[in-house]
Structure 1
């Protein structure tokens, strides 16, 4: 059995002052491009589901998987700065916004699993494929908030009792937080005034990253959050005193992706990895990780409500990308008031 390696040291400062990412073992800061039996995966997904899938691929194919973990922003910058000499082969995880912004850095590929996907889950002239669906939800700490006082919809976040108690990452740095606020705006009528209202409601308190939001609520540091469904369900299943709320006004469904990096040094291994990740047998097990498949031939996990039941529609990542500069301007103006 091959040894599955996870890289656990921080990358030295990336260009443009971005966050560090985790890279290869010891002094092997970059993947050895002369190793043909390797695929380097830039991974911005959660370890609870990416690790076992990567391990299974490695054991089945004999191709060594080198996972390079990092935030979406850090890995996006890494891909851009390595454009002339790519070190990674695959980008995995992260919301669709990430892939839209990187389309010119990704390789078009005809995945044999494409025909099994639901409509519009292949993007950028086959530059990326979407793997999972994840609706945005609310969540609250059941030790801090009684059920009768819990939020039931997006508009409840603006109640005075939640001011300064909402766990949200800075949306100028976190795409997930930005998408959550975009979802809220969309569902509540599209009024841009909600941008400054939300900034005021946070009362200057923000967590370091979107991945920390659920943890902040579970610890009791914050009372409520707005985030993707899966980390809330995962924490609740682990025994955390947290409850998920599907907003009464409806919500939007985000999607995570996978793509091959243009001029990848291990291109054939990258294709095999992408095919494996998109295969039916892998998608049929996504429910084990409380995730929803984008394949039309895979039913929703029985432990999750259907998307129709929670009054949801697909998140418009293209609109979000087009609106981002305007949003950032309005958010920053609200901050300095």
Structure 2
């Protein structure tokens, strides 16, 4: 459900980031449809804070970045969402390039870090950076100990043949974080070595979740 421009501006000023979904605005109905791609706790906390501040009911759906991008694209001819908040930057840039999101300049832009406004410039005002985080991996210390392995300290350690079928990664077709992993490896190692690493890692992966 599309809402009026003032409703859109209000949420983006409060959340200081994200993307407005393109479509023909309809009359404001006192509610807002939010597609949220950060942790569930963040999504609920922001929705509650916005409802308390504005009196506008938020209908929130939490999905991964890739899933939201696919949904927004599928709904392009009949948009149902108002705001897409959070998730990795690449899907937002792709949506911006395809005209699936709207231009918006928040009055809070001047208070943001350069890396945040860099996303806004790259997206031609259709998306903005809202947070940054380190990309890493976790492991089960008990299983590592049971296998007699040293605790992995870097990405190269995940290629140990003893970890075959013990590594799980999210599906990069739907997970923005997993896609970012692929892109980061290629950027750090170069295309040839990066894909060689990913092929080697694939041998140890039991499931793409």
TM range (shorter): 0.7 to 0.9
What does 1:210-289 align with in structure 2 at a 5 Å threshold? none
The reply on whether 1:55 has 2:43 as its aligned counterpart is: no
User: Of Structure 1 and Structure 2, which has the larger fraction of its residues in strand?
Assistant: 1
Encode CA deviations 1:218-275: one digit per residue, 9 max, x unaligned. xxxxxxxxxxxxxxxxxxxxxxxxxxxxxxxxxxxxxxxxxxxxxxxxxxxxxxxxxx
CA RMSD of aligned residues (A): 2.1
Gaps of 5+ in 1: 1-32, 209-337
The reply on whether 1:75 has 2:68 as its aligned counterpart is: yes
Contact 1:107/1:127, CA 8 A, preserved across alignment = yes
Normalised by the length of structure 1, the TM-score is 0.48
**Aligned length, in residue pairs:** 174
Gaps of 5+ in 2: 1-25
CA 1:139–1:107 in structure 2 vs 1: closer, same or farther (change >3 Å)?
Answer: same
* Equivalent-residue separation in structure 2 for 1:141 and 1:185 (angstroms): 27
Encode CA deviations 1:128-163: one digit per residue, 9 max, x unaligned. 111111110121112222497111111111112222
Runs of 4+ in 1 over 6 A off after TM superposition: none
Q: Which of 42, 53, 57 pairs up with 2:35?
A: 42
User: Of Structure 1 and Structure 2, which has the larger fraction of its residues in helix?
Assistant: 2
Query: What is the Cα deviation at residue 100 of structure 1?
Result: 0.9
Normalised by the length of structure 2, the TM-score is 0.74
Contact 2:67/2:175, CA 8 A, preserved across alignment = no
What does 1:1-337 align with in structure 2 at a 5 Å threshold? 35-103=28-96, 104-122=99-117, 123=120, 124-146=123-145, 149-190=150-191, 191=193, 192-202=195-205, 205-208=206-209
Contact 1:154/1:184, CA 8 A, preserved across alignment = no
Aligned to 1:67, what secondary structure does the other structure show?
strand
Query: What is the Cα deviation at residue 35 of structure 1?
Result: 4.9
Contact 1:110/1:126, CA 8 A, preserved across alignment = yes
Query: What is the Cα deviation at residue 167 of structure 1?
Result: 1.4
